[in-house]
Structure 1
Amino acid sequence: MKVRFLTLITLLLCLSMIAGAIFVHIFFEKYPVSATIRVNKGESVRQVSEKLYGNKVVNSREYFKTGTRLFGVEREIKAGFYRFEGEMTLYQVIMELTTGRDRLIRITFPEGLTCREMFQILVSKGLGSEKNYLQIFNDPANLLPPEFKGAMTLEGFLFPDTYLFPERATEEEIVREMIRQFMIHFQKASANPAVFQALTSFERLTLASLIEKETSREGERPLVASVFLNRLRIHMKLDCDPTIIYSLIRQGRWDGNIRKPDITIDDPYNTYVYGGLPPGPIANPGEASLFAVFHPARTDYLYFVSRNDGTHVFASHYSEHLENVRHYQVRYWHRKRHKK
């Protein structure tokens, strides 16, 4: 009887040790993780476990759910953004989700900024380094959808909007989110296009960036789109002033003014020198400019000139355009000089 009792005790001790070792292995052994997870208010433990498993933060959905019960935090998981980085244990992951939200940084990007300008805003808010952003900017191959394969940079793909970024988000995570938003709006704009255009998705994006830089008036964007599309159709140079500015920026020569010699600057982005669209976008267009590319106005316009009040006047014939230039530019600046 005594021998049986000792054997039973020994067996129970062995089982306890094995169970303890398994428990430690499951919940306290470290493994590498790298992901940002958003937990929404009202999400169940099961829903959270799916997100964690899908982003490789946990190796088992069941172990995670079991752990929340064992550690008494099944009802303590809080909504928010969570950054998991480095080596962590399952226990640390579970407890991290009870600490509350990561601090979020709110950033609004206006339409028409270049990627470099966006990066400077992000860095000024303490989100990443410009060096890391520029490395991603120049090597976008793994970040872009197949339809944009071949793009040499990220210019045009960072959608201008208001974002809430976790303060611990990496540069790549931020860029991926902005590209994700771009794709949502690009697909929305491209649904049911008004006219057939023999342009690739990348060419449409490039055209949208030109429209974005030419006018800030939403109602004018379909008109500007029609001018550029009409010119492309008859193989007429686009003569888009913002492409001169982008060329000067690329060459480190932009000082805020376009001078007469700049019109002939030898740069592939200069549409006064080179025919067709430039090699890629010159800025990051917003939703209205993307929409205008797929839904241009039906016109025979080939020209437009600024009224100096943020709007433009459009013309179909060169003689008409010259008169508009005389009225809205030559006479305007002549009167302005004589008022000084």
Structure 2
Amino acid sequence: MARPARSTPARRFGCVILLLGLAVAAFVGFRFVIGWTEKGPAAQDVSITVREGATLSDAAVLLKQAGAVRSADAFLTRAKVFGGSKPIKAGEFHIPAGASNSDILSILQGGKTVTRLITIPEGMPSILVHERLMANDQLTGTIPVPEEGSVLPDSYAFDKGEPRVAVLKRMQAAMDKELAQLWPGREPGLLVKTPREAVILASIVEKETAVPAERPTVAGVYYNRLRTNMMLQADPTIIYPITRGKPLGRRIRKSEIAAVNDYNTYAMVGLPKGPIANPGRLSIFAVLHPEKTRALYFVADGKGGHIFADTYQQHNENVRKWFEIRRARGEL
């Protein structure tokens, strides 16, 4: 009768090692799985910028540097196992504090990037557009002052670290596109013969009234004046050669009203040499679709708008009322 084989110390030790190995493997596997969805190490929100053409490996290194993951290699491996084949997007991404590996990959694959905007208000002159772009510390590089009237006022998205010249090109391309769309649909028989002339007149309309509903009427007044060879007599055209569109900060002097230059419409008939600001869509549209009016004059009404008049006599009475309002306010 055969005796059962006795367990030798070496065999018992081998079994222990095997069991320990299995336990370690199980623990590592458990940690690998849990590490995909457990809370991440970032104590606060972080941002990373994934450049166009960057790989998931590149993004993993950025995440590690930002403190959003514990290990770039571990994140990359888990992403390949659990994340599927959907590619990551380019752009700047906001990673919330404590985001898991799974959350982070969803963010990168979803393409919901951080939106940064720079706004150019209607009627902003190019010298101030330049200052606004140069003052934004999220942009890089330098730019010259853009040509007046070449920028379409709007809010523009940009990426952190993007060159200023690229943002400016988008602003100018938007103006070119807007003019290309609006110009063909203009009213027939307009006195402006080119898109540039339309921008010049629109820039004056823009600076003369902040009330959108008045812009077609103001445009109609200026067309009436151009048609009868009257001077436009727009105060903003006096200021532009002095400040390049920045606020004057004082009352206009008599010598400045009489100054002869390429912009002052108190000393010349017709349009000035060029735009005096960057007009918005509504002012351009108003110039291309002016109101049919007999009015030749307008003056402030004290409420933010204007009163229009067909005759000089009516206009003088409106001016008298405006001066009464200013005296009552203590402005005179």
TM-score by length of 1: 0.63
Alignment counterpart, residue 134 of structure 1, candidates 144, 147, 155:
144
Matched, 1:261 2:271: no
SS of the residue corresponding to residue 289 of structure 1 reads: helix
Are the aligned partners of 2:240 and 2:263 in contact in 1 as well (CA < 8 Å)?
yes
SS in 2 for 1:337: coil
Partner of 2:86: 75
* Equivalent position to 1:108, from 113, 119, 125: 119
Provide the residue aligned with 1:195 in structure 2.
188
Give the structure 1 partner of residue 233 of structure 2.
239
* Inter-CA distance 253–112: structure 2 relative to 1 (3 Å threshold): closer
Q: Give the whole-Å Cα distance in 1 for the aligned partners of 2:171 and 2:89.
A: 25
**In 1, Cα distance between equivalents of 2:247 and 2:261:** 12
Match of 1:229 among 223, 228, 247: 223
Q: CA deviation at 1:307?
A: 1.0
| Map of 1:29 onto structure 2 | none
RMSD after superposition: 3.1
- Structure 1 residues 271-327: Cα deviation after superposition (integer angstroms, max 9, x where no partner): 111221111110011111010011000011111101122100111111111111011
Q: How many Å apart are 1:133 and its aligned residue? A: 2.2
Instruction: Give, in whole Å, the separation in 1 of the partners of 2:296 and 2:152.
Output: 29
Gaps of 5+ in 1: 1-36, 40-71, 83-96, 138-153
Deviation at 1:262, TM superposition (A): 2.0
Aligned to 1:182: 175
CA separation in 2, counterparts of 1:252 and 1:193?
31
Aligned to 1:50: none
- 1:104 Cα deviation from its structure 2 partner: 4.8
Is 1:158 aligned with 2:158?
no
Q: Which residue of 2 aligns with 1:56?
A: none
Aligned-residue offset at 1:229: 0.8
Q: Which residue of 2 aligns with 1:335?
A: 328
Residues 157-182 of structure 1 deviation map (CA, whole Å, 9 limit, x = unaligned): 11111111122222321111001211
Q: Quick one: which amino acid aligns to residue 227 of structure 2? A: R
Identity %: 37
Contact 2:128 2:246 in 1 (8 A): no
| In structure 1, C-alpha distance between the alignment counterparts of 2:188 and 2:243, rounded to whole Å | 34
Separation in 1, partners of 2:125, 2:119: 14
Residue type of the alignment partner of 1:169: E
Query: Which amino acid is the alignment partner of residue 122 of structure 1?
Result: L
